[in-house]
């Protein structure tokens, strides 16, 4: 039997593939035309078998091989809507090999920025080949619809060498090329630091130029404790986050571009966000308050605020109270230090002392009311606070 020769039919527009792709460069893989935008936009590519030259088992095996390489269900059979159609054609439509034998199949490559109908043409002679040869040929042509050209290497289903015909489906090399073409190793060398209060700065490296597949596609999502705190474009590799909680915080940067046709890439780092801390809060009282007793009752709060940084830090602190009983007045008095605005020396710890006076009159009624007290501190000029909370019961009788 003469050597099996696979041909790819390239559309006339293929020379313009690199144009209109947001300064897209062919990037990391050889013989790469550009992405299949059905997969880019919809996450999958519908394939319709409109003919009988390709057995259903061969078609499914070819799709399964590329799905395994993609690490997801990229190719699905659907003739209701489709972006790749597999059609029977006469011998000779796909050209001839050097011996004059009709080529068994040929496939289109993507040429425009957007979903387009691509064709895999299967000649009648295809039916004369063995199952293994058919699987290789169909997987090869399916690779063209994903944007891959020919390779002069034995270890690829896209090979044009006779030694490559032994590959019935995508090889580890094809899987690696798929990954480099369709995904983004979005975040490498992620670093974070904080040099001003309540501010976290993150920077990372992006190593795959294929992140520029879509002009308007967001590139990266930054999350903190599972909530998104920033979403930046694909060309951005740093973000400055203000009003962040003080102390050790974990941030995750995830590629959105990497999700187009493969797994999302993400990594995390911890940033010790610059700012003051409340070390402790101790509460004493209050004694039960008698209705209409004008002497009042008192609660005392003693706490520590700290500057953990190596430089002086202006801070503002306060005592917050929530859940006071209706009809009871409360007067918060700072005893120590003299003002709630302080400049703490490097690593300095300061004790603070508050007194809260309660006096209850009608319409207050006998009750036991749980009240929450919080000692809070923030760096001057920002709104983020670090608080230590504790509960006490106010008894009115």
Residue 206 in any domain: the answer is yes
For residue 333, the enclosing domain spans 277-396
Is the per-residue pLDDT at 197 higher than 90?
yes
Alpha carbons within 13 angstroms on the beta-carbon side of residue 238 total: 7
Task: Please check whether residues 226 and 167 belong to one and the same domain.
Answer: no
Q: Cα separation of 73 and 45, whole Å?
A: 9
Q: Find the CATH number of the domain harbouring 291.
A: 2.60.40.10
The pLDDT value given to residue 326: 81
Find the Cα–Cα–Cα–Cα dihedral 118, 124, 127, 130, rounded to 10°: -80
Calpha distance 131→111 (Å, rounded): 31
**Mean pLDDT score across all residues of the chain:** 85
Final residue of a structural domain among 273, 298, 323: 273
Token pair listed for 383: 């709104």
CATH of the domain at 152: 3.40.390.10
Determine, yes or no, domain membership for 41.
yes
Task: Look at residues 206, 240, 273 and tell me which one is the last residue of a structural domain.
Answer: 273
Q: Tell me which of 273, 296, 327 is where a domain ends.
A: 273
Neighbouring C-beta atoms of residue 50, cutoff 10 Å? 12
Same domain, yes or no: 98 and 112: yes
| Global confidence as pTM | 0.57
The answer to whether 189 and 267 have CB atoms below 8 angstroms apart is no
Greater pLDDT, 211 or 395: 395
Considering the domain architecture, whether residues 34 and 174 belong to the same structural domain is answered as: yes
Q: Could you tell me if residue 4 is inside a domain?
A: no
The phi, psi pair for 92, rounded to 5°, reads 100, -25
145 with 22, same domain: the answer is: yes
CA neighbor of 245 nearest in space, from 388, 347, 385, 389: 385
> Distances from the Cα of 89 to the Cαs of 52, 94, 125, 226, in angstroms?
10, 8, 10, 53
Confidence of residue 273 (pLDDT cuts 50, 70, 90): very high
Express each pLDDT in 31-71 by its tens digit: 677 778 787 677 789 999 999 999 999 999 999 999 999 88
Residue 28 in 3-state DSSP? coil
Quick one: 153 and 202 in the same domain? Answer: no
pLDDT score of 208:
53
Beta bridge partners of 322: 372
Q: What SS3 state is found at 20?
A: coil
Higher pLDDT, 95 or 27: 95
Smallest CA-to-CA distance from 211 within 261, 179, 258 is with 258
Which is higher by pLDDT, 360 or 348? 348
DSSP letters spanning 223-267 = EETTEEEEEEETT--EEEE-SPPSEEEEEEEEESGGGSSS---EE
Q: Is 73 inside any structural domain?
A: yes
Is the residue at 6 inside a domain? no
Q: The sheet that has 266-273: what strands, in order across it? A: 227-233, 218-224, 247-255, 266-273
Query: Residue 211: its pLDDT value, please?
Result: 42
Q: What is the pLDDT of residue 6?
A: 36
Cis peptide upstream of residue 138 (ω within 30 degrees of 0): no
């Amino acid at each position: 039997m003469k050597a099996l020769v696979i041909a790819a039919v390239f559309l006339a527009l293929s020379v313009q593939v690199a144009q209109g792709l947001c300064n897209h460069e062919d990037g990391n893989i050889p013989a790469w035309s550009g992405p299949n935008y059905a997969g880019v936009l919809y996450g999958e590519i519908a394939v319709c078998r409109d003919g009988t030259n390709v057995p259903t088992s061969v078609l499914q095996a070819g799709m399964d091989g590329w799905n395994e390489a993609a690490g997801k269900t990229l190719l699905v059979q659907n003739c209701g809507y489709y972006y790749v159609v597999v059609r029977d054609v006469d011998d000779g439509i796909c050209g001839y090999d050097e011996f004059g034998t009709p080529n068994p199949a040929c496939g289109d490559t993507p040429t425009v920025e957007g979903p387009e109908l691509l064709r895999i043409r299967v000649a009648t002679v295809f039916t004369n080949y063995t199952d293994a040869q058919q699987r290789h040929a169909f997987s090869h042509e399916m690779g063209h619809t994903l944007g891959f050209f020919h390779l002069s290497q034995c270890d690829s289903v896209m090979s044009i060498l006779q030694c490559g015909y032994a590959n019935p489906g995508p090889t580890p090399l094809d899987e690696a090329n798929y990954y480099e073409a369709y995904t983004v190793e979005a975040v490498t060398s992620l670093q974070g630091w904080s040099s001003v209060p309540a501010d976290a700065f993150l920077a990372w490296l992006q190593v795959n130029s294929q992140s520029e597949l879509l002009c308007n596609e967001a590139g990266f999502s930054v999350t903190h404790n599972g909530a998104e705190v920033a979403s930046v474009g694909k060309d951005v590799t740093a973000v400055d986050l203000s009003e962040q909680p003080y102390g050790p915080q974990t941030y995750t940067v995830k590629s959105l571009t990497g999700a187009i046709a493969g797994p999302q890439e993400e990594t995390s780092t911890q940033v010790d966000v610059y700012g003051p801390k409340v070390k402790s809060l101790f509460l004493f009282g209050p004694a039960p308050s008698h209705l209409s007793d004008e002497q009042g009752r008192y609660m005392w709060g003693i706490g520590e605020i700290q500057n953990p940084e190596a430089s002086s830090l202006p801070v503002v602190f306060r005592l917050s109270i929530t859940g006071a009983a209706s009809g009871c007045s409360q007067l918060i008095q700072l005893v120590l230090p003299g003002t709630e605005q302080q400049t703490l020396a490097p690593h300095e710890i300061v004790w603070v002392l508050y007194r809260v006076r309660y006096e209850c009159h009608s319409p207050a009624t006998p009750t036991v009311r749980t009240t929450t007290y919080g000692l809070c501190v923030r760096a001057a000029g920002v709104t983020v606070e670090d608080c230590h909370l504790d509960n006490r019961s106010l008894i009115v009788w």
